Each structure stands twice: as structure tokens, then as C-alpha cells.
Amino acid sequence: MGRRIYLEDVPLEEAWTRFTRALTEAGLDAPFPGEWVPLEQALGRVTAEPIWARLSVPPYAAAAMDGFAVRARDTAGATETQPRVLPVPPGPDGIGACYVDTGDPLPPWADAVVPVEQVQFDGEAPERATRITLYQPVPPWANVRPVAEDIAAAELVLPANHRLRPVDLGVIAACGYATVPVRRQPRVAILPTGTELIPPEEAAARGVRPGELIEFNSLVLAAQVREWGGLPTRFPIVPDDFERLLEATREAARTHDLVLINAGSSAGSEDFTARVVSTLGTLLVHGVAVRPGHPVILGILRVDGRSVPVIGVPGFPVSAALTGEIFVEPLLARWLGLPPRRRPRLDAVLTRKLLSPLGDEEWVRVTVGRVGGRYVAAPLSRGAGVLSSLVRADGILRIPRFVEGYDQGETVAVELYTDPEAIEGTILAIGSHDMALDLMAQFLAERWPGRRLRSANAGSLGGLIALRRGECHLAGTHLLDPESGEYNLPYVRRYLAGVPVVVVTLAHREQGLIVAPGNPKGIRDLRDLARPDVRFVNRQRGAGTRVLLDYSLQRLGIDPASIPGYDREELTHLAVAAAVASGRADVGLGIRAAAAAMGLDFLPLALERYDLVIPQDLYEDPWFRPLRELLHDSRFRAAVAALPGYDVRAMGVEVARLGP
Amino acid sequence: MGRRIYLEDVPLEEAWTRFTRALTEAGLDAPFPGEWVPLEQALGRVTAEPIWARLSVPPYAAAAMDGFAVRARDTAGATETQPRVLPVPPGPDGIGACYVDTGDPLPPWADAVVPVEQVQFDGEAPERATRITLYQPVPPWANVRPVAEDIAAAELVLPANHRLRPVDLGVIAACGYATVPVRRQPRVAILPTGTELIPPEEAAARGVRPGELIEFNSLVLAAQVREWGGLPTRFPIVPDDFERLLEATREAARTHDLVLINAGSSAGSEDFTARVVSTLGTLLVHGVAVRPGHPVILGILRVDGRSVPVIGVPGFPVSAALTGEIFVEPLLARWLGLPPRRRPRLDAVLTRKLLSPLGDEEWVRVTVGRVGGRYVAAPLSRGAGVLSSLVRADGILRIPRFVEGYDQGETVAVELYTDPEAIEGTILAIGSHDMALDLMAQFLAERWPGRRLRSANAGSLGGLIALRRGECHLAGTHLLDPESGEYNLPYVRRYLAGVPVVVVTLAHREQGLIVAPGNPKGIRDLRDLARPDVRFVNRQRGAGTRVLLDYSLQRLGIDPASIPGYDREELTHLAVAAAVASGRADVGLGIRAAAAAMGLDFLPLALERYDLVIPQDLYEDPWFRPLRELLHDSRFRAAVAALPGYDVRAMGVEVARLGP
């Protein structure tokens, strides 16, 4: 009887040190030996030894232009008025010229080339000329490409540990090679484990049943390995059976340089990885003080006398991907003789306060945009299961151990995933989530390659506040003012007082009650929310929908406390709809489109106006024009109008220009 | 009878406009349609349409930790002193708990999960517990992963025109896909033409005969196409035969989206490309005002009713590679729906004055290093044939039309090939070329991945001047002072007066006369250089070897003007040796190692000291330590000692510390 504590809490640096020390002892830390591959297949491979030129380039003196090979001294004194005439080919006295094409070897007797444009010749073609006339002299070696102008035999062409680019292949071929010695690519085995896992193909074919999880981590890990120069092998899913995992691991270790065991879950009863590692070799680390990624396992397997490193990769998708970056990438780099990859960094202003557990190093995903001449970083979901946050991430902010976090407005260093060019083209929207904004992002990327619209959900109010702080380019908002019954403008006046902004309508949307198909609980209106048999799902404070709800409840004299589930908050319309669809709630307030997307019923309550709030100077800026154009683009309007409950008649209308 | 002018001189922008207009008219400028490929093969491909989630992720509410599913209200009031005890599974009254692993669906009756670490349970394993004890309450929905926490069905997951990264594949699989719609890869045909061309395999097997050229441009172009997302096909070399080139081109156009015809030479009699293009379609441009790359051809072929763009790629390797970057890359990007690639830029100080022809835009290759807190750009060879300059280039400096060049010391914008991290790790050496420096570059890259030694050849004197200007980290020099007969120090005192530097010896080298094997001309010493039947090849002014020559000639009273070939200058020892090896010169002055590398005979004249001159602060800097360590590394010393004529006994010796 006892409380289970199953994980160590090894700091990242120490975990890495233990791992590399063990690798060194096993003789596994040196760059891999070379193999000779045809140049045609060598792009992106890494040289295993220096490349010394076997031939000089060019191997002989050659004509650098099309023209006539001559002896410079025979052209001396030629002028427009007193031209020199030379026979082709040279006469017995050795005086004369002969035609050469660019690249042709220079005849032994010649020491210069007169470009064809500078001479007059008889006959139709210079190739058939018998006499040429020169109007100016040429110096010795003019228009001659000397031997070894490019590369001299025995010269160092490329050092070892160089990743081969297209031009490198050309130079290597030019100096006498048809093959090149490159480092063998590390073979990496990826073993997904977990009885609950099903392959994507199966899920795509028949959907997912409760208790099942789609196995996609091995896709991500394999792609990472390939990107980093390794050769991945995805093993079939191994069910939760110690013996079978043991066998699969042994099998993988026989034929690979590195084994990744991806646990179906972080530390559950299914997790046999640690036991397998200690059975087949040495368990070095079980649990690293970094999040996401905590339950990482590091070890060395010994199979058939070979030592093979093994990494137990956590099951949560974000943890899995980051474990790849933290442990797999540097190991592959070492084996390939490359420096561990370092991402471009930039300093950005943090849009939200971040608190982080003292004991762990935390990797926070952020989206980055350039707003008003400075970079801002908006933290994304920190859930280890939220892979989409990694997809939307432009970079990573590391919060070291023993740092408890950063304040809103603080300048932090971001390691970029996205290339800086793309960030310059990013329009950053913070505010209420809306499906028309998703469409806008799609149309923008399609019509203006290189431009992006990123939206971070912070609710309508959060958006206005972020805009006031200069943390985004625009805010999407649908806030009803209880006093005036007017949408958005009162809030803009209050929260952006004195800031010159344009308020433009994106669309009107139908708000209402989202209920299960057929409305089994027979819900009619908001009064039913107070029924004890009805479970409600709410939106977060500051969300326009939440404001609408509280406003309506107040008018109806309904006490929020009397509503079961009032305290359960979701961040988007779709999340609310999803909660109802899954049967965990009976009703939620949201837009018709969300209900329709999930095949749910909908009871309309109100038509609300969703506006975009944009600083005036930006609104006028050419950089912003694509977004303005979209608001008047017929295809985009049609696409939005096609969303259930959306009315685009007012799209693009400037509701107001506020500010001084 | 007439002077041949065969090329237009179309400005780059106009050439591109003509080309794209024709593409638009032919309906060839739109992004390619999509094809569905398995996720496992989709890394690096570009989405052809937006990806909307088919499933919510997770599709059901799930336990976020290993622990016990409970109803939050049943845990209310639990404390360390007054714990709550719950039966497993729940009793008839519905009160109780049940064990769940991370990822397990939450039972319908439960609304929270208590982590296993926070409870006490009976039995060995929590899975088999029949009773749990709680010491604190849990709020509703604690440790529960709500439906759609990651992605809600019908949400936009990825827009079109997005290049797929590893994490993207995971998210796409997670929301219900096993395949993904990506843009078809453009098929690009590459046709090398030229009777003088031989494949690299043949050259590697039997060497190159006069008049032959190794065909490697198609290797470079194919690798570029692959890197830019296309599918290249390398066609066999087409000899100079109009009909055969016509046929090959027609054949290529039938099965490809773009045809590249790589002329064996720039505009010689072999160049049928223009005629082939006008025969099979429309010749749009023949000659672009950009160098290198001038004789580019742009056109549209019409074959079997299909229109296929064609680019005539110049034969000079640098022109060929740059033509790929200027014309092929943006076209492929357009077809893939990607923005044309833009390279990172940085401002750097130019180390040499650059003059450029007014009429053309010129692309100058530069190597870049960070010296004393600022970036410096050292121009490399501008020859269109010098592919190694493109290999050594860290970036490109564009000199626009109608700009006649830039001054030494001017700040210019460089478009980087090399990732900025690598530039931070670069040690930049300017001065006299030396083979031990080549070895040093190789050892550095091998021993310290990420560190690089770049040497630009400017002669010993040029190096000292560059060092004084703060344009390099160190200068390699071997300068004999005629008055004192002393090496290097007098010059350092004169050219670096007041600059605190350390002078360290790299090695002593044997200088002498390089002659053909068996010394056919029976050369004995410098006096023979004045013989009319002896052709000499010289080094450039400022080269240590040149100083040694002039010094020796003066002492012997030999008039340089009497030496045939005295005015012919080469930039390196190896180039001098190559000139002798090719029979274009009978004798040159240089080091024994160069003679040995080319299998030539050598008549020793002097033993000279080759020193490295390094600013003192840099010499003490940890960043510089790798290079200092190498000077005392036994393997490196052995490698240098193995070079013929090298003496390493003084390697690493600090000859002097000069300056205030």
C-alpha cells in the first residue's frame, strides 16, 4: 500500500550528459564511417572525408570566348585605320589565326584569342573564314582560360563534414570524381506501442471508437529523422504485451543504429518501455525535468554483442515531437559529423504572463508577428496533447529551471521554426474565434503566397486589449453592450480610447442554443438551462458569446449559479459544439455554423455583428491591402455566405472610424 | 562579310516579364493541381488545398493522467486530516471511483480524474485497487482532456500552399486523414548538349583529353530542381547535331513541364538551342543583361498541342547555376504555390573595390566573415567558369544595372547562401595561399563541427593590408625583406605599425624552380630564365614568391624584361605548377609541394618561413582556441610534415609580439 512515485526528475543537461557518457563508453559517439555514392544521389549527404582535386579545372588552357586563336605579337599595332590581316590557318612563317569555340583547347603555338565580334572575316561563317582583319591588338593571354583557373589538381575542394549542395556536386565531378565519400545515414527504428492505437489508414476508413487513439507519432518521428539525415523504419504497432515489445525491440536493435520506443501513453499501465530497456541493457534515465516531454527514457540496449542506444519517447504528441528535437536531432548530427542544429533567434515582446513550474525547464510554443516595428510572441496552448499548437507555432520560448516565468510585455528570446521572411508576411489577429477568419487565412495563403493570417483565440475582450497593447494587427470582436444594446463600438470606445482605429464588419452570425440532434431534452430557450437534468457548457469570460449569455440571463432574471455546468468553460464555438456532440453536455451557446459542422440542432437566439478592429494607419498600409481586398472579393464572400447562419451583406462596411 | 552580333541584351526584369506573360497566355502560370499521396511520403510536399479536420482531436473526453475517475462533488471536503474514502468501482449509490490510464475515455458518470500520485490505494497496483483514499478535493473537469481540446472537427487545420513539416503530418493524421492533397511535382528535363562533353563516370575512369569537357552542369541543375521541389530527368548528352537536339527536345517536351537545354558552350558554333526553340515554338529572349549568365534563352515550345516552357542554360558552370536560381527556382515556386525563395540578407563591409559593366546587372560571389564585430564580404573570382567560387561563396552581392560598382570599405547588402550560424563560426584568412592552410581548414571542420576556415588568396602583402583594415582574422605571409634578409617581421612592422599582433610560424617551405619531369630544358638556376627558349610563368605582384624572385634576380643582376613570360601572372603555387604541367610554360617559381602534387621536377632555391599574423586580442580569445590547438596537434603536424618540402619544427612558435 503506498502512493506511486515512478519517475526521476533529471535536469535536461544531466540527462544528456549521462546519455552521451554511455555512448562514448560504448564507442557510439563518433561520426559514422563513409560510403561512396554516385554524385547523382549525394545531394544533402555529408562528406566523410576531405575531397582533394584529382584533375585541374580546366585541365588545359582553353578559349574563353568564340573567336580566333592568335599569337599576341602578330596583332601588335592593329588600328581601325591600319588593320592587320591574318591568314587562316597560319602560313609557313607561323603567322596567322585559327577559329576556336569557347572551351576549345588553345593551339600550342597561340597565346591569345580575339573575340569573333572584334574581327572581320570573309565567307558566311567564321568557322569557314580564310582571312581575318583585326582593328585592335590583343595582349598575351587575353580571352584565354588558363589551366587550373578554377581548381588545381591536389587542391582541397571540400572539407569533411560538409553537407553537399547542388554546386558542390558540380565541382566534385569537375575535378575527376563520379562518386563521393559520404557518411552512412543513421538507421532509426520507430516502435509505436499501445493496444489502444490504430493506424491512420484504419481511422480514415472507419473513424475512431471510444478508447482508441490514432497512431501518428511514428509519422512525425519518421519525418523528423528523414529531415535530419537519417533513415527511419516505422515498425507495426506493438500491443501492450511485455514479451512482444521485448521481441520487437530486440529485432529493431539488430538492424538499426537507434531505437525509438513510442509509448502509447505517458506512464500508464501500458508503459513497459523502462522494463524492456533494463531487461535488454542499461536504463540510464527515466524522467527528465523538461515539459512537455517529462517521462523520457534513455538507455543503451545490448543485443548480439552490439550496443544500441534507445530512447523511450512519451506518448503525448507534443512531448514526442519535442523529444525528437531535444534528443534525436543532436545524436544524428553527431553521427553525421554536423554541428547540432541551432535555430534563428529573435527577441519578441510576450503578450501574456507565463507561469512555469520551478523544477522543470519548459518549452512554450509561441506564434510570432511583427506589429508596429517590433516582434510580439503570443503563447499557444501548453497542453502536451495539443499538437496543433506545435503546427501553429512560429517558435519556442524556453523557460529555464528555477525561473518561475515571464511577465506580459517582457522581452523574451524565441527560437524560430518559421523562416523570418514568413513572419514579416504574417497578419496577426487576436480575439474571438470565427470560422470566416479561418476561411480568410485560407484565401490569403492561396491568393498571396507568402502572406499568412494567424489568429490566436483570446475572446473579443482579450482581442481589444491585445490591440491596445500593440500585440496584434487586428482584433475580431462581437461584444453586445448591455446598456445600449449596441455591438462592439461602446467597447472599442472604452478599451481603445484615443487609439485611431477602423471598425469593419466581417459578417453577421446567428447565435443560439446548440443541442443534440432531435433535441432529446426538449430545450426551448435559456430558461431551460436552470433545469437540474440539463448540463450546460459555457464559454470563457470575455467571450462575446459569454457576454450575450450573461446579458440575456440577467434580463430573464435567471441566477447563473442555478445553471449546472455554468462553470465549465470552453474556448471556441466548435469546442462547445464538440462537448454537446460527445454527450458530455446537453446544451451550449454558440453560432449556428458550429452546430452544423458537428451535425447538431440549433435554436436561434440572436443575430450578432462580428467586426474587425484595425488601427487606421495599418488599414491604409499597402502591406495590409490583401486583407482589405478579400473583404470585397466575391469568391471569399460566397465562401463565407455558405457557412450556416452567416450573413455577408455588411461585409467590408466601415462601421466607424474612432480615435482623435 | 560582317562582324557577328548575335545576342540581345534584355534587362533581367524585362526578360522575366516577357517570359511570364507568355506563360500566362499559355495558361502555364497557375499553381499545379493536387494529387493525394500517403502521409508517409508527404514530407516537404506542398498542400494543394486547405485541410479541414474530419474528426475532433481527441474525439472523446479522456483522462489526462493515470489515476482514478471520480465525480468531483464526491471528493469535496477531503483533507490530510479528514480524507475521503471511495470504493472502486462505484457502489449502487453511484459514489466511487474507477482506475483510468492516460488517454482512456472518461466514464459517462465521471467528471474529473484524481492523479494516482495523489491517492492512497489498497493492493499492489492501482489497477487492482478496491478502495482509494483522497487527501484533497478535485474541481470538476480536473485532469480531463476535453473533446476537441486539440482540434475540432470542421476546423481549418492547414491552408493551401503550405510546405508540409513533420508535425503537420501528425496533425493531418490525427484529424482523420491517411493521405493528403499536395501539388504535383513539376517534371523538369535537363538536356546537356555538346560533342566535347563526356560524362563524369568516363572522366573519372580515364581522365580528360584535350578538347573534352566533363559534363557536370546537369548534375547541378538536377540537384537544384530536386531541392526546389521538382522532379528532374537528366537526358544523355546530345552531340552537336541540330536534328538530334531537335528530336531530343521534342521528346523531352512530351513528358515534362519544363525543358532546360544546357549548351556545351556560351554562343559557339555548337549552340543550336535558339534555332531549336524557334523551330519548335517561340523564342522570347536570347541574351539577358546579367552576368554571369548573359546568353540565357527563354522560350515556349509547342509539341503535340502542348505548350512547354524552355530555358536555354549557358554552358559556363557559374552561369548555369545562377540561371537556375534566377529563372528556374521562381518558376517552380509559382507552380508549387510557394513564394519565390528569398535568402537571408546582411550588411557587410566590402574588402575590395568592385567595378562592374554599366549595362549589366552583375552577381558577385563573396565569402563572409564576422571580424571585430562587423561583417566583411571578400569578393571571390568573378569568372563565369570558376565554379569553385560559387562553392566557396557565402553569398551573392548584386550590382544593379547602371551602377558602376562599389568602393573598398563600402557597406553592401549580401544575400546569404550560408546559414548565419555558420558565418559566426568562420575564421577568415586572407593572404598567401598555402597547402598547410588547406589542411588546417580540413582538420578544423573535422574536429570542431560548425567551425570553418576560409582563405582568400591575395598574396602575402594583400593579407597584411587586409588585416590592418580589419577585414580578416589572420594573414598568412612569407615575405623576404631585401635589406635585412629577414622574413615577415619587417613587413609586419611597416604595414601593421601600432597594431598589436602575434606572429606565429606555421611552417618552413622549400621554394624553388618547378620544371617539367626530367627537366627537358636543362634548367639549372634563375639565370636560365633569361634564355629565349625558356618560357617562364610568374606570380602576381605582392606574392611572397614574387618578392623572392625579384630580390634574387636583382642580386644576380638579371633584367626582368629579359625573361619571356615574366609578365604572365598566376595566383597560386598550384596554378604555376599546373601551367608547367600543361606544357604552356617551361619553368615557374614555387614550393616543392606544388611541384610534387603535379608530378613535376623541382630545383630548390631557398627555405622560407611561412607565418600567421594574428591580432593579439583575437589570439587570446577562446573563440580562436581551436586554431591554436591545431598548431600543437600531433596529427595535424604530421599531416603538414607529410607535404613535400614542408618543415614543421617551428610550427606554433611565437616569433614575435608586435605593437604598442
For the stretch B102-149, pLDDT in tens is 878 888 888 899 998 889 998 888 888 999 999 999 887 788 887 778
Residue in chain A lying closest to B577 (CA)? A152
Q: How many CA atoms are closer than 13 Å to the CA of A450, on its beta-carbon side? A: 13
CA angle A318, B160, A392 (to 5 degrees): 25
Angstrom distances, CA of residue B390 to CA of A581, B312, B381: 60, 21, 9
* B310 domain residue, yes or no: yes
Cross-chain Cβ contact B153/A386 below 8 Å:
no
B484 and B550 part of one domain: yes
The closest of A407, A473, A435 to A625, measured between CA atoms, is: A473
pLDDT in tens, B248-278: 999 999 999 999 999 865 455 446 888 999 9
Q: What residues of chain B lie within 8 A of the CB of A159, using their CB?
A: 441-442, 444-446, 452
Query: Which residues of chain B neighbour A158 with C-beta distances below 8 Å?
Result: 391
Sorting pLDDT into bands at 50, 70 and 90, what band is B419?
confident
pLDDT of residue A205: 93
Whether B627 and B482 map to the same domain: the answer is yes
Report yes or no on B591 lying in a domain. Answer: yes
Residues from chain A that touch B71, judged by Cβ atoms under 8 A, are none
Q: Looking at beta carbons, which residues of chain A come within 8 Å of B196?
A: 103-104
Q: Name B243's Cβ contacts closer than 8 Å, sequence gap at least 6.
A: none
pLDDT mean across residues, chain B: 91
Q: How far is A47 from chain B (nearest CA, A)?
A: 10
Whether residues A486 and A574 fall in one domain: yes
pLDDT for residue B582 is more than 70: yes
Sign, CA torsion B154/B157/B158/B163: negative
Amino acid present at A57: V
- DSSP, collapsed to helix, strand or coil, labels residue B181 as strand
Residues B127 and B79 in one domain: yes
CB contact under 8 A, B66 and A266: yes
Nearest residue, CB atoms, A103 vs list B156, B196, B199: B196
Instruction: Say yes or no to pLDDT of A61 above 90.
Output: no
Residues paired with residue B197 on neighbouring β-strands, in sequence order: B213
Question: Residues A159-178: what's their mean pLDDT?
Answer: 95
B229 and B174 in a single domain? The answer is no
Q: Which of A219, A381, A567 to mutate to test the interface with B (most CBs of B within 10 A)?
A: A219
Tell me the chain B residues in contact with residue A43 when contact means C-beta distances shorter than 8 Å. Answer: 223, 226-227
Residues of B in contact with A55 (CB under 8 A): 203, 207-208
- A459 located within any domain: no
Residue B34 has pLDDT above 50, yes or no: yes
| B101, B156, B317: residue with CB nearest A270 | B101
pTM of structure: 0.89
Contact list in A for residue B179 (CB cut-off 8 A) is 204
Of A107-111, B145-149, B332-336, B494-498, the range with the lowest mean pLDDT is B145-149
Residue A7 inside a domain? The answer is: no
Chain B CB contacts of A88 below 8 Å = none
Per CB-CB distance under 8 Å, the chain A contacts of B125 are 269
**Quick one: B506 and B563 in the same domain?**
yes
A36, A266, A328, A391, best to mutate vs chain B, most B CBs in 10 Å: A391
Residues A544 and A636 in one domain: yes
Cα–Cα distance between B79 and B68 in angstroms, integer?
17
Residues A522 and A582 both lie in one domain: yes
**Given an 8 Å threshold on Cβ–Cβ distance, is B101 in contact with A140?**
no
Looking at chain B, which residue has its C-alpha nearest residue A336?
B449
Tell me if A429 is assigned to some domain. Answer: no
Say how far apart CA A473 and CA B30 lie, in whole Å.
30
CA-nearest residue of chain A to B221? A166
Question: Is residue B660's pLDDT more than 80?
Answer: no
Residue A430 phi, psi (nearest 5): -120, 135
Whether residue A159 and residue B572 make contact (CB cut-off 8 A), yes or no, is no
Span A355-382, average pLDDT = 90
How confident is the model at residue A182, as a pLDDT? Answer: 98
* B217:A170 CB<8 A: yes
Mean pLDDT of A326-349: 92
Can you tell me the distance from the alpha carbon of A166 to that of B323, in angstroms, rounded to the nearest whole number?
A: 13
Residue A243 is assigned to a structural domain of this protein: yes
Pick the more confident residue, A519 or B568.
A519
pLDDT for residue A342 is more than 70: yes
Residue B275: which of B312, B319, B307 has the closest Cα? B312
- Stretch B375-391: mean pLDDT, rounded? 87
Closest C-alpha to B216, from A173, A52, A62: A173
Confidence bin at B483 (pLDDT 50/70/90): confident
Verify that A411 and A484 share a domain, yes or no: no
For B413-441, what is the mean pLDDT? 90
Question: pLDDT, tens digit, for every residue of A232-283?
Answer: 999 999 988 899 999 999 999 999 999 999 986 545 544 688 899 999 999 9
Query: Which candidate in A51, A99, A102, A443 is best for mutational testing of the B interface (most B CBs within 10 A)?
Result: A102
Backbone angles phi, psi at A224, to 5 degrees: -60, -50
| pLDDT value, residue A267 | 52
- The predicted model gives B535-552 an average pLDDT of 89
Query: Residue B397: which CATH number?
Result: 2.40.340.10
Mean pLDDT of A373-388: 87
The CATH number assigned to the domain holding B88 equals 2.170.190.11
Q: Is residue B40 part of a domain?
A: yes
Chain segment A16-27, per-residue pLDDT in tens: 999 999 999 999
- The yes-or-no verdict on residue A5 having pLDDT over 50 is no
pLDDT above 50 (res B25): yes
What 3-state DSSP class applies to A651?
A: coil
Place B397 in a pLDDT band, splitting at 50, 70 and 90. very high
Give the whole-number percent of chain B exceeding pLDDT 90.
65
- Contact state of B146 with A575 under an 8 Å Cβ cutoff: yes
Beta-carbon separation of B174 and A216 below 8 A = yes
Coil, helix or strand for A388? helix
In this structure, the number of other CB atoms found within 10 A of the CB of residue A599 comes to 12
Which residues on B lie below 8 Å from A214 (Cβ)?
A: 173-174, 176
Give the least confident one: A219-233, A479-493, A589-603, B135-149.
B135-149
Q: Give the gap in angstroms from C-alpha B346 to the nearest C-alpha of chain A.
A: 13
What is the predicted pLDDT for the residue at B377? 93
Q: Which of B159, B168, B203 is opposite residue A176, by nearest beta carbon?
A: B203
Task: Answer whether residue B172 is part of any domain.
Answer: yes
- In the predicted structure, residue A134 carries a pLDDT above the cut 60: yes
Give the percent of chain A with pLDDT over 70.
98
Helix pair B459-468, B544-556: axis angle to 10 deg = 130
Cross-chain residue pair B171–A64, CB shorter than 8 Å:
no
Return d(Cα A645, Cα A593) in angstroms, integer: 6
B465-478 residues labelled b (16+ CB within 10 A) or e (exposed): bbbbebbbbbbbbb
**For chain A, percent of residues with pLDDT exceeding 90:** 65
Beta bridge partners of B305: none
Whether B615 has a pLDDT exceeding 50, the answer reads yes
**Among A603, A617, A610, A622, which Cα is nearest to A648's?**
A610
Last residue in a domain, options A335, A364, A379: A335
Among the residues of A469-572, which ranges form H helices? 489-495, 544-556
- Contact (CB<8Å) A39/B344: no
Q: Do B339 and A570 touch (CB under 8 A)?
A: no
Instruction: Assign A519 a pLDDT band (cuts: 50, 70, 90).
Output: very high
Min Cα distance A422 → chain B (Å) is 9
Q: Nearest CA to CA, how far is B547 from chain A (Å)?
A: 22
Contact A321 B167 (CB under 8 A): yes
> How many residues can be counted in chain B?
660
Final residue belonging to a domain, choices A424, A459, A484: A424
Of the candidate ranges A378-387, A457-466, B413-422, the one whose mean pLDDT is the lowest:
A378-387
**CA dihedral over A422, A424, A430, A434, signed as positive or negative:** negative
Q: Which CATH number is B42's domain given?
A: 3.90.105.10
Concatenating the DSSP letter of every residue in B559-619 gives: -GGGSTTTT-EESSHHHHHHHHHTTS-SEEEEEHHHHHHTT-EEEEEEEEEEEEEEEHHHH
Q: How far apart are CA B135 and CA B85, in angstroms?
A: 9
Q: Return the residue of B nearest to A40 by Cα.
A: B219
Give the pLDDT of residue A569. 85
Choose among B208, B219, B597: nearest Cβ to A40. Answer: B219
The DSSP letter of residue B271 is -
CB spacing of A66 vs B179 below 8 angstroms: no
Q: Average of pLDDT values for B385-410?
A: 91
Enclosing domain of residue B288 = 12-30+186-335
Mean pLDDT is highest, among A49-63, A245-259, A383-397, A461-475, for: A245-259
Looking from the CA of A151 toward its CB, the CA atoms found within 13 Å total 27
Number of domains in chain B: 5
Weakest mean pLDDT among A25-34, A496-505, B577-586: B577-586
**Angle of the B435-447 helix axis to the B634-641 helix axis, nearest 10:** 150
Task: Identify all chain A residues contacting B268, using CB atoms and an 8 Å cutoff.
Answer: 66, 101-103
A125–B388 C-beta distance less than 8 A: no
Distance from CA of B48 to the nearest CA of A (A): 9
Instruction: Kindly indicate the confidence band of residue B8, based on its pLDDT and cuts at 50, 70 and 90.
Output: confident
User: Cell numbers of A387, please?
Assistant: 499538437
- For residue B479, give how far its alpha carbon lies from the nearest alpha carbon of chain A (Å): 23
Residues of chain A in contact with residue B339, where contact means CB-CB under 8 angstroms, are: 421, 425, 449-450
Does A171 sit within 8 Å of B391, measured CB to CB?
A: yes
Q: Which residues of chain A neighbour B387 with C-beta distances below 8 Å?
A: 57, 150, 167, 170-171, 174
Secondary structure letter of residue A530 according to DSSP: G
Question: pLDDT class for B229, splitting at 50, 70, 90?
Answer: very high
Q: CB–CB of A220 and B56 under 8 A?
A: no
Q: Report the pLDDT averaged over residues B321-336.
A: 96
Enumerate the residues of chain B whose CB falls inside 8 A of the CB of residue A598.
152-154
Same domain, B580 and B620: yes
Please indicate, yes or no, whether residues A119 and A107 belong to a single structural domain of this protein.
yes
Task: Summarize the confidence of residues B510-531 as an average pLDDT.
Answer: 95
> Are both A530 and A565 inside the same structural domain?
yes
Domain closes at, from A145, A172, A197: A145
Reply yes or no: is the peptide bond before residue B89 cis, omega within 30 of 0: yes
Which comes out higher in pLDDT, residue B83 or B270?
Answer: B83
**Rounded CA separation A233/A252 (Å):** 9
Q: Which of A578-587, B64-73, B377-386, B485-494 has the highest mean pLDDT?
A: B485-494
Task: Please indicate whether, in this complex, the C-beta atoms of B385 and A64 are within 8 angstroms of each other.
Answer: yes
Look at A178 and B201 and tell me if their CB atoms are within 8 Å. Answer: yes
* pLDDT at position A478 over 60: yes
Q: In this predicted structure, what is the pLDDT of residue B2?
A: 35
Could B156 and A438 be called an inter-chain contact, meaning their C-beta atoms sit closer than 8 Å?
A: yes
Contacts of B162 in chain A (CB under 8 A): 445
Q: Which residues of B touch A383 (CB under 8 A)?
A: 145, 149-150
**One-letter identity of residue A536:** F
For residue A578, the distance in angstroms to the closest alpha carbon of chain B comes to 6
Say yes or no for a CB contact (<8 Å) between B337 and A597.
Answer: no
pLDDT at A64: 84
